[in-house]
């Protein structure tokens, strides 16, 4: 089948004999357009999540447009964003095929622009019906490259806005291969010849405004065959959204998604735990007492940041790391049947742990059942996690105590999960030991206590607590030498002068 029926040999490009052009007839004859949400690692990193499997949405075929056409940004809106993508045009029908067979059902490859209007995205509830299916919101073309003549693992996608390069990536960074995407879709629907599959966009997508010209091009790196540039000009629409439908609405999250990053959107992004817990901050927090950190948090009005009531398997050994969270809900037999067996949330959480992380589990303080045993505790250790914290019980406690990984728990119990718990969710805000823990919070703990430090405060608390420990050492040494507490603890003006003189001298404790 020739896609669209009416196609002509392109006069441009590197190999005219292997390319045909998209025209209006092609756009009219496309049966369906399916688009992948996240497929490039760079885009997934921007979004802060990497999917295990591809997910999709549909776009109206009326959104298709050929090169050189314009697209309207509706009146009263501001967040129209481009997404340069590689489009697959199905060549032969595909139904329940394997990933190894998927690429063989692709007939042609071309460039596309998956335009989206974030002002109305909320109203679609994930379907993207209006935000992605506006007229002209799927430019495609200009040249169709025969799939048999290109390497799907080494295609290059580039996007320019007003002549400036905005996106540049190759399919080497795809999370899912084209074959997997085609096969996955074919499990539920028949992909017919001429159907179009948009395969996701790399980092660099952002907002465009009336007057901007967006160009997208796909190249086969090995052969230098090219689709040529798909050009679309943005215009200002005369009509907006009427009152009989959902009004437009924009949140900071929408702006960040549309612009790609908080910085590009002009929004101050909260510091993440990974950014806050530098080696310097970690070293300082490990050098001071848990009680000193607690005092610094209380000075800032944070009185409910301690995970309480737990026993440490490694005594005073201090741990520090970023929280990964796992939540258990009270056991209900039907829910345990659907969520408790197989590769459940508990096992997924422990398999996904990385060095520098601490697994924190919400078990509602329930002592009548364990939340893990020695095998899963060993898995967290092998994964490189810093510690395990649970406000529930632990099975095989003696074996867990013999492991190198520190564990903080609420007692031993021989039963696990199904008696009292259903493993429910990971990487969500939870409650553990009487306080709230969010993924990415900084956790510091030993037998004296476990504290949750908001990432934004970590650096200043680290600096303050090191200074406080030095002051406490100064006081301790003078008390040991026989000085009275009055005026020394806390230090009055005279003692403060002596303290600063000692600090400025650089002398050691023996000089006190």
Residue 17 has pLDDT above 80, yes or no: no
Phi and psi for 89 in degrees, rounded to 5? -110, 120
Predicted local confidence at residue 506, as pLDDT: 79
236-283 pLDDT, tens digit per residue, is: 999 999 999 999 999 998 999 999 998 899 998 788 899 999 999 999
Average pLDDT over residues 191-213: 97
Average pLDDT over residues 50-73: 96
Q: So what's the pLDDT on residue 2? A: 42
Among the residue ranges 20-29, 168-177, 357-366, the one predicted with the least confidence is 20-29
Confidence at 6, pLDDT banded by 50, 70, 90: very low
Residue 157 has a CB neighbour count (10 Å cut-off) of 25
DSSP three-state, residue 339:
helix
- pTM of the predicted model as reported, rounded to 2 decimal places: 0.66
Domains of the chain listed by start with CATH number:
16-236+244-263 (3.90.850.10), 303-453 (3.50.30.40), 464-511 (no CATH)
If 0-12 CB within 10 Å is exposed, 13-18 middle and 19+ buried, where does residue 506 land?
Answer: exposed
pLDDT at 84 over 80: yes
Distance of alpha carbon 146 from alpha carbon 198, whole angstroms? 16
pLDDT at 72: 97
What would the pLDDT profile of 211-239 be if each residue is shown by its tens digit? 999 999 999 999 999 999 999 999 999 99
Per-residue pLDDT at 370 exceeds 50:
yes
The predicted pLDDT at position 193 comes to: 96
d(CA 327, CA 58): 33
The mean per-residue pLDDT over the stretch 26-43 comes to 95
DSSP notation for 135-202 = TT-EEEEEEEEEGGGS-GGGEEEEEEETTEEEEEEEGGGBSS-HHHHHHHHHTTSPBPTT-EEE----
- Between 315 and 284, residue with greater pLDDT: 284
Across 33-44, average pLDDT: 96
Judge whether residue 507 has pLDDT over 90: no
Q: What is the C-alpha separation between 258 and 207, in angstroms, rounded?
A: 6
| pLDDT for res 270 | 81
Looking at per-residue confidence, does 473 or 17 come out higher? 473
pLDDT at 511: 67
Grouping H, G, I as helix, E, B as strand and the rest as coil, residue 276 is helix
C-alpha pair distances (Å), 346 with each of 191, 327, 403: 37, 8, 19
pLDDT for 16 equals 32
**pLDDT over 70, % of the chain:** 96
Summarised one tens digit per residue, pLDDT across range 454-498 is: 999 999 999 999 999 898 888 998 999 898 999 888 889 988 988
């Amino acid at each position: 089948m020739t896609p669209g029926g009416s196609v002509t040999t392109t006069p441009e490009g590197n190999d005219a004999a292997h390319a045909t052009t998209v025209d209006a007839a092609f756009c009219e004859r496309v049966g369906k357009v399916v688009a992948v949400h996240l497929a490039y690692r760079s885009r997934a990193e921007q979004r802060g999540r990497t999917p295990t499997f591809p997910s999709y949405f549909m776009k109206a075929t009326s959104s298709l447009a050929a090169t050189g056409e314009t697209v309207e940004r509706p009146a009263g809106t501001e967040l129209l964003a481009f997404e340069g993508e590689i489009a697959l045009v199905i060549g032969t029908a595909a139904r329940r095929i394997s990933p190894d067979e998927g690429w063989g059902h692709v007939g042609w490859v071309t460039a596309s622009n998956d335009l989206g209007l974030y002002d109305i995205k909320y109203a679609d509830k994930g379907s993207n019906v209006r935000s992605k299916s506006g007229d002209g919101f799927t430019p495609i073309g200009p040249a169709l490259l025969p799939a048999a003549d290109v390497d799907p693992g080494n295609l290059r996608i580039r996007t320019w806005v007003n002549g400036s390069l905005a996106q540049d990536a190759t399919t080497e960074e795809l999370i899912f291969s084209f074959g997997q995407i085609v096969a996955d879709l074919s499990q539920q629907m028949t992909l017919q010849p001429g159907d179009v599959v948009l395969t996701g966009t790399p980092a660099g997508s952002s907002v465009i405004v009336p007057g901007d010209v967006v160009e997208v091009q796909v190249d086969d790196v090995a052969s230098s065959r090219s689709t040529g540039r798909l050009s679309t000009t943005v215009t200002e629409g005369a009509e907006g959204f009427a009152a009989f439908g959902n009004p437009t609405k924009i949140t900071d999250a929408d702006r960040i998604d549309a612009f790609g990053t908080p910085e590009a959107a002009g929004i101050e992004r909260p510091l993440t735990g990974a950014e806050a817990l530098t080696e310097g901050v970690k070293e300082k927090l490990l050098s001071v007492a848990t009680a000193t950190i607690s005092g610094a948090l209380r000075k800032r009005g944070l009185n409910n940041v301690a995970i309480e009531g737990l026993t440490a398997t490694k005594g005073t050994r201090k741990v520090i790391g970023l929280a990964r969270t796992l939540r258990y809900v009270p056991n209900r037999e039907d829910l345990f049947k659907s969520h408790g067996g197989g590769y459940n949330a508990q096992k997924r959480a422990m398999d996904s742990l990385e060095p520098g992380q601490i697994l924190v589990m919400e078990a509602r303080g329930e002592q009548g059942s364990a939340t893990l045993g020695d095998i899963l505790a060993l898995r967290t250790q092998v994964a490189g996690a810093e510690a395990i914290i649970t406000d529930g019980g632990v099975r095989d406690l003696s074996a867990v105590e013999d492991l190198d990984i520190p564990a903080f728990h609420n007692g031993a119990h021989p039963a696990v999960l199904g008696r009292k718990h259903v493993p429910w969710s990971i990487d969500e805000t939870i409650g553990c030991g009487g306080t709230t823990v969010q993924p990415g919070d900084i956790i510091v703990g030993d037998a004296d206590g476990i504290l949750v430090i908001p990432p934004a405060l970590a650096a200043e608390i680290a600096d303050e607590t090191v200074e406080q420990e030095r002051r406490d050492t100064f006081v301790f040494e003078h008390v040991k030498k026989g000085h009275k507490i009055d005026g020394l603890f806390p230090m009055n003006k005279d003692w403060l002068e002596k303290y600063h003189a000692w600090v400025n001298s650089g002398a050691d404790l023996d000089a006190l």
